[in-house]
Amino acid sequence: MKIHYKIFIGVLIIFTIFLIIANFNFGSDNKIIWGATFSKLQAEELGINWVIAYGAMIDELNLKTVRLPVYWPDVEKSPGVFDFSAYDWMIEKALKNDVEIVPVLGRRVPRWPECHTPEMYKNLTADEIKIKIFALLKAEVEHFKKYSNIKKWQLDNEPFADFFGQCPLGEESLVREEVALVRSLDKRPVMITESGELSLWFKGAKIGDFLGVSMYRQTWNKRWGWFNYPLPPAFYYFKAKIVKLFTPVKKIINTELQVEPWAIDNNLTKMDLFDQFYSMDLAQVKSNVKFARSAGLDEIYLWGVEWWWWLGEKKGDWSFWEYGKTISSDNF
């Protein structure tokens, strides 16, 4: 009995220590750089005016940086003819407000279906599309490198997340070639992103100067419906420490902090408001922000500000947007 009792006490102590460490606050709010991802495509799909929503985000949410996906079909409507005017406006608006921009370049950029290919190129072979992707990257970097508020480039979005999106299987050799091309055109650092929960992070960390990781707490799929990740902030904190120890990556960033509902069948517009709030009400947003602060990553990008604006404009609920104004100064 004494041995069993000692074993029980030992296990209890270990479990208690684990719980304390798992929920420990590893962050320092004073050092966090707050940003957001803004998707022109998502704004358009929600039926809101992207110019007004983007302008309000820059003017009102006190962000230091914005991750800006550049959609290939948006900028190349005719073969070899590029029009970046919409993105120029967004970058220049940010520049006037002393906000940094992180352009997301290439074919695979945020928002469903992840790979965004112009209709005119959809029947090309893999080798032919590769040539077009390189031409796109060259045009993007050559055009955008004039902006001083671009401090780093993101190349593709989670290129090795083969479990998500309508994309070809991720090829490490292709990503490395793309990175080499971008580095030959401009000396600013390159960021590669990985799934925060479903990846080991090592592949992206070995390729990019910076590594961006997502942070999702509730998802949905057809097999089991809603799913809450049972991961503590310590999961991200210690994972980042290990990856930094074994790779040359300079910094690890939280590039997608979930503050919008996970879209059933990848389309928010098909979900009723009850299901949206079931997945992400304001209390959950606040919980996710607190969780991210505790994970110890000092650059955090909100994922879902377009939805916040949609809630206000279309549903008369501005509580999420108003809370967003306080995040950069809010205390734990």
What CATH number matches the domain at 2-324, 3.40.50.2300, 3.20.20.80, 3.30.390.50, 3.40.50.720? 3.20.20.80
d(CA 17, CA 11) in angstroms, rounded, equals 10
Q: What is the pLDDT along the chain (332 residues), one digit of tens a residue?
A: 455 444 434 433 333 344 445 555 776 555 899 999 999 999 999 999 999 999 999 999 999 999 999 999 999 999 999 999 999 999 999 999 999 999 999 999 999 999 999 999 999 999 999 999 999 999 999 999 999 999 999 999 999 999 999 999 999 999 999 999 999 999 999 999 999 999 999 999 999 999 999 999 999 888 888 999 999 999 999 999 999 999 999 999 999 999 999 998 888 988 999 999 999 999 999 999 999 999 999 999 999 999 999 999 999 999 999 999 999 875 43
pLDDT in tens, 245-297: 999 999 999 999 999 999 988 889 889 999 999 999 999 999 999 999 999 99
Both tokens of 297, joined, read 């990553």
Domain ranges of the chain: 2-324
- For β-strands 225-228 and 218-221, DSSP reports them as antiparallel
305: nearest Cα among 84, 68, 105: 68
Kindly report whether the peptide bond that precedes residue 230 is cis, defined as omega within 30 degrees of 0: no
d(CA 24, CA 295) in angstroms, rounded, equals 9
d(CA 231, CA 235) in angstroms, rounded, equals 6
Report in angstroms the alpha-carbon separations of 183 from 37, 157, 328. Answer: 23, 17, 32
Report in angstroms the alpha-carbon separations of 126 from 57, 122, 163, 171, 233. Answer: 38, 10, 20, 12, 40
